[in-house]
Amino acid sequence: MAFDLSVLDLVPVPSGTTPSAAIRDSVSLAQLAERTGYRRYWISEHHGMPAIASASPEVLLSRIGALTSRIRIGSGGIMLPNHSPMRVAEHFRTLEALYPGRVDLGLGRAPGSDARTNRALGAGSGAHFGDMLTEMLSLADGRYGPEHPYAGVRVMPDDAPLPPIWILGSSGASAHVAGASGFGYSFASHFSPVDPAPALASYRETFEASPQFAEPHTILGVSVICAETEAEAQRLAKTVDLMWLRLRKGEFLPLPSPEEAAAYPYTAPEQAAIEENRARHIIGDPAQVAAQLRTTAERTGADELMIVSNIHDPGARLHSYALVAEALAAS
């Protein structure tokens, strides 16, 4: 089956470098994605993590939009409980005014950080996601009647529409909400152990057409490590092994190099856990990766695969994305 290819950038911070350098590297990735035919480039939202520099997706998207011309840009996603619904609408209407027809608004319910950082952010509960989403849409569309406290509030620039809205999920719980609301739906298989196929099917079954989406559209996040040879890809993937193990322990350290990961003294249970986690990643040479991506798209029915590549060396990360695009275009 045919499927589109896109990029999700967590703006990873490799050990031995700085978060500022990682942010600048994100521009290079977006530009490469545009040159090599990727459909969209999304940035995640995380806070207080030395391993990830994507704390301000809106700011980064503004810069990346100015340095690209065709690729769609968006959030994967804005964690709505961290923000005022009106401010999210303002930010993304502003982006839409700057880059009309190129912006996506991906929304999630998770806070994207640890409990202490969430308190510092003033983050709300994901349990209120539905109410916050309704408030954002009601403000943007001017739905509040004269008796409501928000009556007459204008979300500026009010001549720019909200971009297409995507609901992000990792368990399937929000699939029916996305479908019934006529939004797009994106499932985070790059970190979730849950089989995405039932969630994507539930979304399609409940989908109601909307002005933004005449038909259902699903995006599946996948973790990919690609190199010229399988051996080199396996070496680069050692970074993901140690990164994941640290995250399990609540350690948000910068992205380790393959050499750091190889030198780490893994216990037998840790090694077993790493081997189990490897099943969630697509690792190999271009032909192997292309074949696995096709199989994944066919099994899940995803309309689009959004690649996450947490590779320590920025050059190797860019090369991985380029190799994948080239391999799929040639097949």
196-206 and 286-300 helices cross at what angle (nearest 10)?
A: 50
Q: How far is CA 227 from CA 112, 209, 256, 272, 315, in A?
A: 30, 40, 18, 25, 11
The string of DSSP codes covering 148-196 is: STTTT---SSTTSPPPPEEEEESSSTTHHHHHHHT-EEEEETTT--S-H
Q: Quote the pLDDT of residue 174.
A: 93
- Cα 180-185-188 angle, rounded to 5 deg: 140
pLDDT given at position 1: 64
Compute the mean pLDDT over every residue in the chain, rounded to the nearest whole number: 95
Give the span between the Cα atoms of 162 and 306, in whole angstroms.
22
Long-range contacts of 123-128 (CB under 8 A, 24+ apart): 123/79, 123/81, 123/82, 124/81, 124/82, 125/81, 126/81, 128/81
pLDDT at 20 over 90: yes
The predicted-structure confidence for 77-101, as pLDDT tens digits, reads as follows 999 999 999 999 999 999 999 999 9
- Give me the pLDDT at residue 113, please: 77
Q: What is the pLDDT of residue 172?
A: 86
Q: 40: left (phi > 0), else alpha (psi -120 to 50), else beta?
A: beta
Q: What is the mean pLDDT of residues 233-256?
A: 94
Residue 264 is encoded by which pair of tokens? Answer: 């780490």
Q: Identify the CA nearest to 183 among candidates 208, 205, 219.
A: 208
Q: Which CATH number does 1-163 carry?
A: 3.20.20.30
The domain locations on the chain are 1-163, 222-331
| 125: confidence class by pLDDT, cuts 50, 70, 90 | confident
Task: Give the model's confidence band at 115: pLDDT under 50 very low, under 70 low, under 90 confident, else very high.
Answer: confident
* Dihedral sign for Cα atoms in the order 69, 297, 51, 47: positive
The pTM of this model reads 0.96
